[in-house]
Structure 1
Amino acid sequence: MENKKALDIVVFPWLAFGHMIPFLELSKHLAKKGHHISYVSTPRNLERLLPKIPKNLLPFIKLVPIPLPRDGVLPPKAEASSDMPFDDVELLKKAYDGLKEPLASILEGATPIDWIIYDYPCYWLPPIADRLGVRKAFLSLMNGWSSASFGPSSNMIKDGAGTWSKPESLTGRLEWVPFQNNVVYRFHEAKKSLSAARKNASGVSDMFRGGCSVCDCDVFAIRSSRELEAEYLQLLEKLHRKPVVPVGLLPTSVDEDQMANSDTWHSIKDWLDKHTNESVVYAALGSELGPSQDVVNALALGLELSRLPFFWALRNHAGRPQELPDGFKKQTRDQGLVWTSWVPQAQILSHNSVGAFLTHCGWSSIIEGLQFGKPLIMLPFVLDQGLNARVMEAKKVGFEIPRNNQDGSFDKNSVAQSLKVMCEDVFGKIYRDEAKKMSRMVADENLHNQYIEEFEAYLYRNRPISEA
C-alpha cells in the first residue's frame, strides 16, 4: 500500500442478499487494496456468502458471525429477508436490533477500528461508534434519485414530515427537488411503498431508521456514479448536509472458474446454448418480494402468448408458494423453462442468447442487466422500484408493462405485447441499442475502480485523528 497503514474496517449490512452482496463487493475492492475487513453477519448468511470470496482475499476479509437473537417468532433458520414472507420482515428487523450489544463488543475489541460501513436499519449504531472513536460511513444501496425521494434526514426522523402521510403526496413533484424530473410514484406503487415504509412490528419505522442512520453518519456513501446522476448526488449533499461519496456501481464479476464446477449453471447453459443470439427473454422478479398468484398467472400466460423463448427464474418464496396455471408447463415445454431454485443471474444475463430482461427494477438487478447490455422490460412493485423504472424509461433503456394506475393490475396481453415490441419491433430497437450503449459505462471496470479509489482515499484522509 505504498507506505500507507492499512485501515481496519467493520462492514455491517442489513440481512438481505440484495444488501449483503453489494456490501461484500465493496469489501472485496477495499481488501484488494490491502485493508483489513471484518464482515459481520449471522452464521448462516456468512456460510452462504463464503463461496463468493476469492481465495486470495481471504487473508484480508474476516467473516465475523454473530448469532441472531431468537424469540420464537422467526421461522426456523430464518436469517435473511428471503427466508421469510415479505410481510414478516419487520420481525427480522426486531431481531437485527438485538445485535446491538454483540456489535458494540466487536467495535471495542483489541484491534482499534478505523471505520464502520453500515446499512439503513442500523439507527442505533452511530452513538456506539462515536463513544468508541470509530468513524461512520453510511452506505446507501439506493441511487440518488430514490434516496432523494425521502427528503432531508430531519424529515425522515419525523417519519416523513407529512410527505409520506398519504399516497397522493408521492405521485407529484417533490418540493425539495429543484430541477425538472418525472421521478414520481404511480398511485399503486405509492400505496404499497407507504405501507412498507411504515410497518413497525419491530417498533421502529424504516423512515426513522433511515433518517437517524443518515443524520448521524460522517459520510454518505452511495452505489452510484456522477456519469449517471451528478445532479442528484449534488442534491443529496444539500439535503443531508453531509459529504456524499459515490462508490461506483459495483458491477458484478462473473467467476468463470466457480461456475465451471456448478451443476446448476451447466444445466442452464446447456438450455441457453440451444437458442440463437438475443432471442431469449430472461424473467426474474427478485428474491425479496414474492409475486401474488394473480401476477404469476398474468406473467405465465403473457410469456406463453408472446411465443418468444423464455427462461423464468420463479423462486418459491417463504410463506408464499406460487402455482403455475394448469397446463402451462406442458404447453410451453418447447418454448421456455421455469426454474424454481437459485440461479446465477449474472451468468445468465451475460449469455449471448438472452436478448431482454423482464425485471422488478431492483437497483442491483438493473445494474446487472445493463452491465451486459440487456434492455429492460419493467414490472416494478414497491419502494424504489417504480422510481428506477421512471428513470430507465427516460433514458430509453427499458419500458414498463402497461398497468392499471390505481391497483397495479395487468393482463397477459400487456405482457405479450411488451415482450414482442422490445424483442422484435423496430420501436424496441431504440431500447436495445441504448442498453448496449449504457453497458459501456456500467461495465467499465476502470471507471468504477476510480470511484473505489476515491472512496478509499476519503476513508484514509478522514480516519480517526488518533491514527493520523
Structure 2
Amino acid sequence: MVTTDGILINTFLEMESGAVRALEEFGNGKIRLYPVGPITQKGSSSEVDESDKCLKWLDKQPPSSVLYVSFGSGGTLSQNQINELASGLELSGQRFLWVLRAPSESVSAAYLEAANEDPLKFLPSGFLERTKEKGLVVPSWAPQVQVLSHNSVGGFLSHCGWNSTLESVQEGVPIITWPLFAEQRMNAVMLTDGLKVALRPKFNEDGIIEKEEIAKVVKCLMEGEEGKGMRERLRNLKDSAANALKHGSSTQTLSQLANHWENLTKV
C-alpha cells in the first residue's frame, strides 16, 4: 500500500464506511481509497437460457417464499454435511432452490476440481421425491443474479463470497451465512454483527451444522420477526447501493478521481 497513492475498491461508503476509514488511517492519510461499487456482473442471456428450468420453477412460487442455497463456484461440503443440510431444509418446511456440487473429503476444503459424477446422487435416499413440491435441486450452477432478483426469492444461504454479498445487498435479500474459507468469514461477521442483515447457524463440536439448527435458522429467516427486521434494513441498504451508483457516494468518488487524474496531467 505504501507504493501507491490510491486504491479502487468494489464497495460503497454506506455499507463499509468504517472499514474505509480504518484503511485510510492505516496509511496515515497518505493513501486515498476510492469506493466505486457495488459493481457486479449481470450474466449473459445464453447463460440464463441454459438455466431456464430453475427460473421457470421460481415463476411458480409465491413472493419471497424461496430460500436460495449456493456456496459459489468453488464451495463444497462433506457428504455428512450435505446430508444434514438436506434434512434441515426438509425439516424446515420452506421452499428452496439448491445449487448442489459433489461433496469434498473435508468440511474445510477449498477450491476443488468439479467431479464428473452427478451431484444429485449424493443426496439422501428419497429426498428429491419427498421435497419435489417445495424444492428444486440443480447441479453445479444457476444464474445467481437472476435468481436473487426474482420476486419469489426471500432468503439466501450463502458462503459469503464478496460477489455474492454485493449481489444479495443489491437485491435486498437477507442471508444465512455459511463461510467456508478466506475472506468469507470476515464478510459473514460484517453481515451479521455489523449490518445486521444476516443470521449465522452454529456448528457442533465436529464442525458440522446439524439439521435441527439449519431448520431453526431457515424458519427464523423466512418466517420470523428477526427475518422481517433484516428485510427492512436491507431495503434501506439496497436503496443506498442504487443511489451510490446513480448520483451518490460512488459517483462522487469517481468524479473526484477523474479530477485528480486530470490535475496530474497538467503538472
Per the TM superposition, whether the score is higher than 0.5 is yes
How has the CA–CA distance of structure 1 residues 261 and 237 changed in structure 2, closer, same or farther, with 3 Å as cutoff?
Answer: closer
The reply on whether 1:278 has 2:91 as its aligned counterpart is no
The reply on whether 1:246 has 2:48 as its aligned counterpart is no
1:48-127 maps to which residues of 2 (within 5 A)?
Answer: none
**Counterpart residue number, 1:263:** 49
AA paired with 1:401?
A: P
Structure-2 separation of matches of 1:359 and 1:272: 18
The reply on whether 1:306 has 2:54 as its aligned counterpart is no
1:401 aligns with one of 201, 222, 226: 201
**Counterpart residue number, 1:378:** 177
Deviations 1:337-395 (A, max 9, x none): 11113321111100000001111111211110111110111111222222222221122
Shift of 1:253: 5.8
- Which ranges of structure 2 fall in alignment gaps of 5 or more residues? 103-111
2:190 aligns with one of 363, 384, 391: 391
**Counterpart residue number, 1:340:** 139
Given that residues 279 and 423 in structure 1 are in contact (C-alpha distance below 8 angstroms), is that contact kept between their aligned partners in structure 2?
yes
How has the CA–CA distance of structure 1 residues 399 and 416 changed in structure 2, closer, same or farther, with 3 Å as cutoff?
Answer: same
Given that residues 251 and 442 in structure 1 are in contact (C-alpha distance below 8 angstroms), is that contact kept between their aligned partners in structure 2?
no
Aligned residues: 249
Larger relative CO (CA 8 A, sep 6+): 1 or 2? 2
**Percentage of pairs with the same residue:** 33
Deviations 1:136-165 (A, max 9, x none): xxxxxxxxxxxxxxxxxxxxxxxxxxxxxx
1:415 aligns with one of 211, 214, 226: 214
The reply on whether 1:219 has 2:9 as its aligned counterpart is no
Deviations 1:405-438 (A, max 9, x none): x653210111111010111112321112212221
The reply on whether 1:451 has 2:253 as its aligned counterpart is yes
Deviations 1:166-211 (A, max 9, x none): xxxxxxxxxxxxxxxxxxxxxxxxxxxxxxxxxxxxxxxxxxxxxx
Shift of 1:328: 1.8
1:160-199 maps to which residues of 2 (within 5 A)?
Answer: none
Given that residues 155 and 176 in structure 2 are in contact (C-alpha distance below 8 angstroms), is that contact kept between their aligned partners in structure 1?
yes
Given that residues 259 and 265 in structure 1 are in contact (C-alpha distance below 8 angstroms), is that contact kept between their aligned partners in structure 2?
no
How has the CA–CA distance of structure 1 residues 226 and 275 changed in structure 2, closer, same or farther, with 3 Å as cutoff?
Answer: same
Deviates more, 1:316-325 or 1:373-382: 316-325
Q: Which has the larger radius of gyration?
A: 1
- Which ranges of structure 1 fall in alignment gaps of 5 or more residues? 1-213
How has the CA–CA distance of structure 1 residues 246 and 292 changed in structure 2, closer, same or farther, with 3 Å as cutoff?
Answer: farther
Output the TM-score relative to the length of structure 1. Answer: 0.49
Given that residues 356 and 377 in structure 1 are in contact (C-alpha distance below 8 angstroms), is that contact kept between their aligned partners in structure 2?
yes
Output the TM-score relative to the length of structure 2. Answer: 0.82
**Counterpart residue number, 2:113:** 318
Given that residues 361 and 389 in structure 1 are in contact (C-alpha distance below 8 angstroms), is that contact kept between their aligned partners in structure 2?
yes
Shift of 1:260: 7.7
2:22 aligns with one of 235, 247, 260: 235
Given that residues 172 and 237 in structure 2 are in contact (C-alpha distance below 8 angstroms), is that contact kept between their aligned partners in structure 1?
yes
